Structure 1
Amino acid sequence: MEGELGAWSENVLDYFLNTNQIKTRDGAEIIWYHAANNKLQMKEAIQSAAHMIEADVLLCGEEEGNGEPIMAHPPETNSDNTLQAWLNEIVNTKKGIKLDFKSLAAVKPSMMLLEGIKLHLRRLVWINADILPGPNGTNAVVDAKRFLDTVTSFCPDVTLSLGWTTGWQPQQCNKGYSWAMVKEMAQICDALTQPVTFPVRAALVRQSKSELLWLLQKSNRYSLTVWTGRHDKYSIEDLLYLRENFDKSRIYYDILEPQNSKFRKAIGIEV
């Protein structure tokens, strides 16, 4: 099993170093394409310089629970792209993939599709869901046990991306990830054997330094993936602060423009 499926959970930096797509063990070198859902976005992502392509999966006709997995992000519930068609295209690239699930309904049929192409998809596969409530989080969480049981039974060696539901309020003091939040996540992940990355919101990370450092120190399997809300206010200095305080090989940056280009320029990575 390990030899056959190992590529799915290979360290991101090792994979892209070994394929000569990056130069150093620095998570900031990894370029992301976010929300590559419809066919136009998917084509753009494939042709882009991105190393990792992130997309969102939900079940067509989710209320009935008998549809097929399609590529869309709520509130969108329709798409011109199915997961099957999406995977058929991605298989022919050297890019890693991250599939994001907002509910449990699409997980099992999606894992069955992934299992069916495992011999052809010999590269990084990340599976993401928000399984715990986080700072200002109002969205429903995906049931942690059922999500993890389903994913690991079909695809035992994917990299798991396990996050918290979060919110960000303008003109307010936004609290970060609390000790209770990171300790609950650590408890869930302690029993896992897969690599785990924790998606964390850029505007909330600086005030959570101690908690997130503690979480990363629990296992060398753990990393952070910093992401940004479209309307969040945060500074490039916040990102530089993270870089100074965390191991740069264990923190990835899936952030929006123009901050992404400004950040890469500030740390001397070609844009």
Structure 2
Amino acid sequence: MQGLSSRPPGSQASLDQCGVHQCPGNQDFRCPLPLNSKCARCCRLAVLAKTDEETIVHSCNLSWATCMVNSSRASRGIMSYSGRYSSSFPRNHHSQNQPQKDGFQQDLEKMAQLACLGFLGAGPQARRMKKFLFVQWTILIIVLFIWWKHNGGLLPHYSTFSKSVTPNTDMLEYFKIKEGDASLISWEQGIRSKEELQKRLLSDVMMFEVSVSLRGYGTAKQEMLPIVLNALASEELPFRDWLMMVIEAKKGFKINFGCIEAVDISLQYLVEFQDQVSVASVLRVRFRFDFIQLAVPIHLSAAVLNGPNAEFSTSKPLDASRFIHLCSSLMPRATLSLGWTSKMVNGKTSRYSWTTVMQMFDLIHDAQLSLPISLNLESEFVSGSIQQLKWLMQMTNTTLHIYLNSKNLTPAVDILAMRKQFPKNRLYYIGLSDVLSKVRSLENEQPEKFRDNTFILKADLWQVHSMDNMEMLMASESFLIKHGILESVDDLYPNEHKSRLIQTTVEFTNPENVGEGLNIYLHGLLGISGVQGIRCSIRRDGLMLLTVDGVNDHRSESVHTQLSGTASCFRISIFEVYNRLVKFKVQRPLDCSFAVIEQEQVLSIPIAGFELKSGRLFLSKADDSQYVAIDRIEIS
């Protein structure tokens, strides 16, 4: 404890005031401070920690410095001596064997003593120190607040943002649409000038869509310069300028390519921006305030197949293989948007046929794409293609981009029907935002109604008997069968006295094979020779056949008829009164939109007295030339 007698030279006046006293509660400890001083903390520490002499003495040194500041006669002297605090305070207040402190430890002690002077001291010098610390902390808080507002957090945005957001990031996630409703994503199309683009970039629009081609494409003046296509534009807008402005605004964008020659050059621009981001992510340095990041949703779009009424369209599909190769090699993390060339023509087909969607399925399946995929659809063709598009969406794990055209306006009730058939988080609408607002209001006013007496035989209710997975392409509700047998896993007739109505729609994808057919068996039983039961058969040429055979060994009955027409699709209804009668009705439309029914035929057979061995339903197809598509099978 002898170290407490050490004092700074030239401070006798302060020592007179800071005399040595015994501490109450610990008579063995003598404090160098007056008991009535505001800064005398040694006595309290001595009482609380009697055995920790090192802590007590160290605190006494700090309090001693504070006490000397409180002395008006010595305050000026102690501050002038502050540069040598480490020599002013006792060094040997511990045992003689304590190692000497290095310069770094001495600097820490200086900082601690100055902090004590600012927080605990009084007098003119202490007040100056308090003001200095207050100003420093205020500046630090302001700087941290500005940094937090600019970066959206304490960590630099270029070290966190690009890790979680990539060009193939889901738009709902990027724009934080918590409702999970893709129709809430707002789109902008048809920018006429750079000034209009700058104005719209400051709005709440989320996604920008642009059509790109080469300057003078198809003419003698064609140049290898991608430009933005817009018939209403007052000036030519280079695609590179458009791209820079949109990326700097951190908006997502979708590029529709009008020619295959523009794809390579345009994607090279994206690669340049991507390389800049890669360098910055390695260096973790923001070179300038207008530095851009390629961390927004990016969709690369093109029509690659002929669609409905493509023969009447002026545009031609791009080379699908080349387009997919360029996108997957240059921008492997973007979303690929594929579509069809199409045109709405009065009196012509107004749907995506099974043949059309099968071509898209084959293209995606054969390419073995790892990129996320979206499908571009025209709204006027969607209403008649619900089952086809649901099958394609599920089989390829894609999202749908539905274009709402002001020239061929789709009724709000049809759009509402689409929203009830597809998952809302995978159904995007582009254009006519006012129509979408009306649809959402109608959706809230008209809750969905369910028919309790009808259920659908979905994929998980069937057992597949086939040698090859590609012979049965099954989504949740619709199936494509090339060869094989489907068997329902449950008995459809738990109540022997109840009638059953089975309804479905089938379409043959091979128009040339007129002998191709589909068999539907009621009360079927699978044996060595095939399925036996009540067989309802329809062929591509319209031949209907209703047969009761193999139910027992003694009776067999069959009726048939022929449907006229050329359409390759049929609507089937099978009505059965259990153990009494079976009716087989088939409708053949003028075309597969089923807007006009060309002919209808009904076959019936009494089945009283036949031995019905099971209540299971079977579907079979023997010819393996092409697929037959079966829409959802409803049973009521």
TM-score of the aligned structures, taking structure 1 as reference length? 0.88
Equivalent in the alignment of 1:94: 250
- Whether the aligned pair in 1 keeps the contact of 2:185 and 2:428 (CA below 8 Å) is yes
Equivalent in the alignment of 2:613: none
CA–CA distance in structure 2, aligned partners of residues 158 and 44 of structure 1: 26
- Whether the aligned pair in 1 keeps the contact of 2:189 and 2:208 (CA below 8 Å) is yes
- Whether the aligned pair in 2 keeps the contact of 1:37 and 1:55 (CA below 8 Å) is no
Partner SS for 2:321? helix
- Whether the aligned pair in 2 keeps the contact of 1:45 and 1:53 (CA below 8 Å) is no
1:179 aligned onto 2:334: no
Residues 255-264 or 122-131, more deviating: 255-264
Q: 2:203 aligns with which of 33, 38, 48?
A: 48
CA–CA distance in structure 2, aligned partners of residues 61 and 248 of structure 1: 40
User: Counterpart amino acid of 1:69?
Assistant: P
Q: Which has the higher contact order (CA 8 A, sep 6+)?
A: 1
1:12 aligned onto 2:171: yes
- The one-character-per-residue Cα deviations of 1:136-177 (angstroms, maximum 9, x if unpaired) are 12221111011111122111111011000111124x354200
Residues 226-235 or 126-135, more deviating: 226-235
**Alignment of structure 1 residues 96-135 onto 2, 5 Å:** 96-118=252-274, 119=277, 120-135=293-308
CA–CA distance in structure 2, aligned partners of residues 147 and 78 of structure 1: 30
Equivalent in the alignment of 2:601: none
User: Counterpart amino acid of 2:306?
Assistant: P
1:69 aligned onto 2:246: no
Taking only aligned residues, the RMSD between alpha carbons, in angstroms, comes to 2.2
User: Counterpart amino acid of 2:309?
Assistant: N
User: Counterpart amino acid of 2:410?
Assistant: Y
CA–CA distance in structure 1, aligned partners of residues 343 and 199 of structure 2: 29
- Whether the aligned pair in 1 keeps the contact of 2:188 and 2:209 (CA below 8 Å) is yes
User: How much does 1:78 deviate?
Assistant: 8.9
- Whether the aligned pair in 2 keeps the contact of 1:65 and 1:105 (CA below 8 Å) is no
**Larger Rg computed on CA atoms:** 2
1:34 aligned onto 2:189: yes
Equivalent in the alignment of 2:532: none
User: Counterpart amino acid of 1:168?
Assistant: M
Equivalent in the alignment of 1:219: 396
CA–CA distance in structure 2, aligned partners of residues 174 and 261 of structure 1: 29
CA–CA distance in structure 2, aligned partners of residues 169 and 228 of structure 1: 16
User: How much does 1:201 deviate?
Assistant: 0.7
Query: Cα distance 1:51–1:4, how it changes in 2: closer, same or farther (>3 A)?
Result: same
User: How much does 1:67 deviate?
Assistant: 2.4
Greater fraction of residues in strand: 2
User: How much does 1:258 deviate?
Assistant: 4.4
1:240 aligned onto 2:416: yes
Query: Cα distance 1:51–1:267, how it changes in 2: closer, same or farther (>3 A)?
Result: farther
Structure 2 unmatched runs, 5+: 1-161, 278-292, 445-636
Q: 1:147 aligns with which of 317, 320, 323?
A: 323
Query: Cα distance 1:186–1:41, how it changes in 2: closer, same or farther (>3 A)?
Result: farther
User: How much does 1:61 deviate?
Assistant: 3.0
User: Counterpart amino acid of 2:329?
Assistant: S
User: How much does 1:35 deviate?
Assistant: 2.4
Q: 1:256 aligns with which of 429, 432, 443?
A: 432
Query: Cα distance 1:41–1:174, how it changes in 2: closer, same or farther (>3 A)?
Result: farther
CA–CA distance in structure 2, aligned partners of residues 4 and 23 of structure 1: 21
CA–CA distance in structure 2, aligned partners of residues 200 and 110 of structure 1: 24
Partner SS for 1:10? coil
Residues 230-239 or 29-38, more deviating: 29-38
User: How much does 1:66 deviate?
Assistant: 3.8
1:188 aligned onto 2:363: yes
- Whether the aligned pair in 2 keeps the contact of 1:71 and 1:79 (CA below 8 Å) is no
Query: Cα distance 1:143–1:252, how it changes in 2: closer, same or farther (>3 A)?
Result: same
Query: Cα distance 1:215–1:168, how it changes in 2: closer, same or farther (>3 A)?
Result: same
TM-score of the aligned structures, taking structure 2 as reference length? 0.39
Query: Cα distance 1:261–1:83, how it changes in 2: closer, same or farther (>3 A)?
Result: same
CA–CA distance in structure 2, aligned partners of residues 104 and 76 of structure 1: 23
Partner SS for 2:370? coil
CA–CA distance in structure 2, aligned partners of residues 123 and 37 of structure 1: 23
User: Counterpart amino acid of 1:128?
Assistant: S
Partner SS for 1:81? coil
Partner SS for 1:106? helix
Work out the percentage of aligned pairs sharing the same amino acid: 29
CA–CA distance in structure 2, aligned partners of residues 140 and 9 of structure 1: 27
CA–CA distance in structure 2, aligned partners of residues 176 and 243 of structure 1: 17
- Whether the aligned pair in 2 keeps the contact of 1:132 and 1:185 (CA below 8 Å) is yes
Partner SS for 2:303? strand
Query: Cα distance 1:38–1:149, how it changes in 2: closer, same or farther (>3 A)?
Result: farther
CA–CA distance in structure 2, aligned partners of residues 249 and 124 of structure 1: 16
Equivalent in the alignment of 1:202: 379
CA–CA distance in structure 1, aligned partners of residues 196 and 322 of structure 2: 30
User: Counterpart amino acid of 1:143?
Assistant: D
User: How much does 1:9 deviate?
Assistant: 0.5
Residues 75-84 or 144-153, more deviating: 75-84
Partner SS for 1:218? helix
- The one-character-per-residue Cα deviations of 1:68-90 (angstroms, maximum 9, x if unpaired) are 111114x6799531111111111
- Whether the aligned pair in 2 keeps the contact of 1:96 and 1:124 (CA below 8 Å) is yes
Partner SS for 1:117? helix
User: How much does 1:127 deviate?
Assistant: 0.7
Query: Cα distance 1:91–1:41, how it changes in 2: closer, same or farther (>3 A)?
Result: same
